[in-house]
Amino acid sequence: MKTRSAILALLASVALAWSGGAAAQAASAPAPAPAASAPAKAKKVNPNLPYSEKGADTCLGCHDEEADSLTFTTAGVFKTRHAHRGDARGPFGPGKLQCEACHGPAGRHAADGKEIDTINSLKANSKLPVEKRNEPCLDCHQGNARTAWHAGAHDRERLACTDCHRLHVERDAVLAKTSEPEVCLRCHNKQRADFQKASSHPVRHGRMGCSDCHSAHGSASASTLNKPTVNQTCYSCHADKRGPLLWEHAPVAEDCTLCHSSHGSVRAALLTKSPPLLCQQCHSVAGHPAVARTGAALPGGAGGGQIFLLAGSCTNCHSQVHGSNHPAGAKLMR
Ligand code: HEC
Ligand code: HEC
Ligand code: HEC
Ligand code: HEC
Ligand code: HEC
Ligand code: HEC
Ligand code: HEC
Ligand code: HEC
Ligand code: HEC
Ligand code: HEC
């Protein structure tokens, strides 16, 4: 363990020495000079403070193995994409601010390890408001997936990027399908229960992640789905249900959740209710009585048994409940 971290630290410092020149220069100029070379937006976190003398090298003098804990290693950040030195967009790219690209100007803190409040710790217990904590991240990441961030429920609920993301670890759990749900389910307890139900989308087996259907960063659709509507989201995997069909069943084309729970259900096939009740929410009981009103309707009764009761459930006859392509499939029976 120790050797591994030592090698890492070594790798880190070699790489820093290689690219450090420009960064250190940018950083060591007296304030407010860094404004010229630093990306203009990176300064917003704490505009009046100086940057450290030698960038990451300054920090690593104190934030070394000794300071690491079971849950946090400073050097972990060097195993991530953020540490790519060739990437001019990244914190460790040529001329960039390195640690301080995320933590803000830490010149004062680095002088003696005090004045912790002057830096953006990005931690949940930070005194900075969430917008300030998210600022450095959004400065680099406002494109593509984050364009809807400010429209999403998570921004409205004032989540920080770091409520889901870990930046000092080689593998950020929320980015992998198998470990992502655990991150989400920390807050979404109802959904945790749903995915344990007998019939459920195979999230708990690691075959699906929440982000197969949801955009964690927000989207324009209800429940921040990946696609504009529920059905389009479902079709992205269940393409056979899209049709076109000769005989459509109206509710199927309208909204799958009229009959299915999206996450999990105690009934087979994720159904919200079991047939016949499921069907009788919309279809009159009168035509095909599915409950015995008199003894005569029961099997062996005077009436010889009601055919609709004998058949058990609507779907035994109307098996093509999602619609039919059979020329004679108008009643969804074939
Ligand atoms: C002179 C030693 C020293 C230097 C240099 C130093 N730090 Fe620190 N840093 C500390 C100490 C001590 C703490 C407090 C640790 C604790 O309480 O767990 C700390 C805490 C932090 C924290 C956590 C703050 C919090 O609220 O928990 C961050 C983030 C941090 N330092 C970043 C940096 C960065 C970035 C640099 C380089 C620009 C840097 N430090 C340079 C000593 C130093
Ligand atoms: C890409 C952004 C980013 C970069 C670059 C970065 N950090 Fe961090 N750092 C974070 C985030 C986010 C946290 C909050 C805890 C976490 O996510 O693991 C953090 C937490 C910390 C902490 C507090 C740990 C604790 O739990 O008390 C220290 C100390 C720290 N970073 C030091 C550094 C140093 C030193 C560097 C440069 C070698 C650096 N960071 C580079 C994002 C970054
Ligand atoms: C100086 C710019 C910069 C800053 C600041 C920054 N990032 Fe990044 N980030 C990047 C670049 C560049 C990449 C690599 C993108 C790529 O390879 O396409 C990246 C990658 C990522 C990834 C994907 C990692 C992976 O393994 O695929 C995540 C997640 C991420 N950043 C989150 C954050 C968060 C959260 C913060 C704020 C704590 C932050 N970033 C701050 C530039 C930055
Ligand atoms: C609710 C949890 C959550 C929050 C909060 C969150 N993310 Fe993410 N992020 C994810 C998930 C899940 C993925 C992987 C799936 C995906 O790309 O949508 C991801 C992927 C990423 C990626 C890499 C892939 C890409 O889209 O480029 C970046 C960069 C990123 N997030 C940045 C951010 C930033 C910046 C913030 C804060 C404004 C943030 N995230 C807040 C869950 C979250
Ligand atoms: C730190 C807590 C937290 C984490 C972690 C978290 N969420 Fe949320 N999420 C919330 C809160 C709070 C709301 C708003 C209240 C609600 O609808 O439950 C919300 C709302 C949502 C919504 C409903 C959006 C809407 O418009 O109705 C979805 C979908 C969602 N989250 C998915 C996710 C996914 C996927 C992840 C993991 C990648 C995740 N959440 C991680 C706290 C969290
Ligand atoms: C198969 C697609 C799919 C997957 C996978 C999925 N969801 Fe959903 N989720 C939906 C749909 C569709 C809705 C909106 C319709 C509804 O309420 O059923 C929704 C609604 C939500 C809501 C809004 C509140 C609610 O229950 O109506 C939250 C929160 C949520 N999902 C969280 C999660 C989390 C957390 C995960 C992963 C553990 C996840 N979802 C996985 C499809 C999915
Ligand atoms: C990312 C792909 C994906 C998306 C999107 C998706 N599903 Fe699924 N669905 C699956 C997988 C995988 C299974 C499990 C199949 C298996 O176990 O063989 C499944 C199973 C089902 C089942 C059958 C469950 C059972 O027990 O027989 C139903 C019903 C279902 N999905 C409905 C939906 C609905 C409704 C939506 C939209 C809200 C949706 N699915 C979106 C992948 C997806
Ligand atoms: C009118 C109610 C209803 C609607 C609306 C509905 N389903 Fe179903 N679905 C059912 C019933 C009932 C079953 C169980 C069929 C059985 O037992 O043979 C089922 C089974 C399934 C299955 C598993 C068996 C199979 O046929 O593959 C999937 C997947 C599925 N539905 C997806 C969807 C999707 C996607 C939508 C939306 C496009 C949707 N359903 C809309 C009633 C409905
Ligand atoms: C959300 C309401 C809703 C639910 C639930 C529902 N249906 Fe339907 N169903 C309709 C509508 C609307 C039509 C179209 C009626 C029309 O065209 O006059 C229809 C049409 C039908 C038809 C064709 C009728 C005809 O005259 O051509 C059959 C058969 C049928 N449904 C069976 C079922 C079965 C079996 C179930 C349960 C698995 C079910 N439905 C659940 C709304 C529903
Ligand atoms: C024993 C087989 C059988 C069962 C069980 C059955 N149906 Fe039917 N259903 C039929 C037949 C046959 C027709 C066609 C009648 C006709 O064409 O006149 C039909 C027609 C319909 C129609 C079209 C309207 C009409 O009267 O023509 C609807 C709606 C319908 N059934 C719904 C249901 C529902 C809901 C259930 C469950 C409560 C159900 N069916 C159970 C055989 C069945």
H-helix or E-strand spanning residue 36:
helix 34-37
In a domain, 198, yes or no: no
- Average of pLDDT values for 72-77? 92
Which structure tokens are listed for 297? Answer: 């309707």
Q: Do 181 and 191 touch, CB atoms closer than 8 A?
A: no
Q: What is the pLDDT of residue 17?
A: 37
Condensed to tens digits (0 to 9), the pLDDT of residues 187-196 reads: 999 999 999 9
267 lines ligand 9 (CB under 6 A): no
> What separation in Å is there between the alpha carbon of 190 and the centre of ligand 4?
22
What percentage of the chain carries pLDDT values higher than 90?
54
Q: Do 120 and 132 touch, CB atoms closer than 8 A?
A: yes
Residue 327 has a CB neighbour count (10 Å cut-off) of 9
Query: Closest ligand to 138 CA?
Result: 4
Total domains present in the chain: 2
163 lines ligand 3 (CB under 6 A): no
User: 130, 152, 168: which is the final residue of a domain?
Assistant: 130
Mutate to test the pocket of ligand 1, among 13, 16, 57, 63 (most ligand atoms within 8 A of CB): 63
State the pTM of this model: 0.90
> What separation in Å is there between the alpha carbon of 224 and the centre of ligand 8?
23
**Closest Cα to residue 226, out of 237, 214, 240, 234?**
214
User: 109, 130, 151: which is the final residue of a domain?
Assistant: 130
What percentage of the chain carries pLDDT values higher than 70?
77
- Average of pLDDT values for 231-235? 97
pLDDT band at residue 297 using 50, 70 and 90 as cut-offs? low
In a domain, 108, yes or no: yes
> What separation in Å is there between the alpha carbon of 144 and the centre of ligand 4?
11
In a domain, 208, yes or no: no
Q: Which residue's alpha carbon is nearest to atom 3 within ligand 9?
A: 282
pLDDT band at residue 11 using 50, 70 and 90 as cut-offs? very low
Condensed to tens digits (0 to 9), the pLDDT of residues 197-208 reads: 999 999 998 899
Which structure tokens are listed for 241? Answer: 């249900």
Helix (H, G, I), strand (E, B) or coil at 200: strand
Q: What is the pLDDT of residue 291?
A: 67
Q: Which residues, including other chains, have CB under 8 Å from residue 302's CB and lie 6 or more apart?
A: 295, 296
Q: What is the pLDDT of residue 156?
A: 87
pLDDT band at residue 313 using 50, 70 and 90 as cut-offs? confident
In a domain, 74, yes or no: yes
Q: Which atom of ligand 8 is nearest to the CA of 234?
A: 35
In a domain, 181, yes or no: no
Condensed to tens digits (0 to 9), the pLDDT of residues 116-169 reads: 888 999 998 888 999 999 999 998 987 766 667 887 889 888 999 999 999 999
Using CA atoms in the order 183, 187, 193, 199, what is the torsion angle rounded to 10 degrees?
-50
User: 86, 110, 130: which is the final residue of a domain?
Assistant: 130
Q: Which residue's alpha carbon is nearest to atom 27 within ligand 5?
A: 223
110 lines ligand 5 (CB under 6 A): no
User: Long-range contact list for 98-103, CB < 8 A, 24+ apart?
Assistant: 98/16, 98/23, 98/27, 98/55, 98/56, 99/55, 99/56, 99/59, 100/27, 100/42, 100/51, 100/52, 100/55, 101/39, 101/42, 101/136, 101/140, 102/136, 102/137, 102/167, 103/136
In a domain, 329, yes or no: no
> What separation in Å is there between the alpha carbon of 318 and the centre of ligand 5?
38
Condensed to tens digits (0 to 9), the pLDDT of residues 266-296 reads: 999 999 999 888 998 999 877 777 666 677 6
Is pLDDT of 312 > 90? no
167 lines ligand 3 (CB under 6 A): yes
Read off φ and ψ for residue 265, nearest 5 degrees: -155, 155
In a domain, 174, yes or no: no
Q: Which residue's alpha carbon is nearest to atom 9 within ligand 5?
A: 154
> What separation in Å is there between the alpha carbon of 111 and the centre of ligand 4?
33
Using CA atoms in the order 131, 133, 113, 74, what is the torsion angle rounded to 10 degrees?
180
Which range marks the domain in which residue 287 is found? 244-249+274-317
In a domain, 121, yes or no: yes
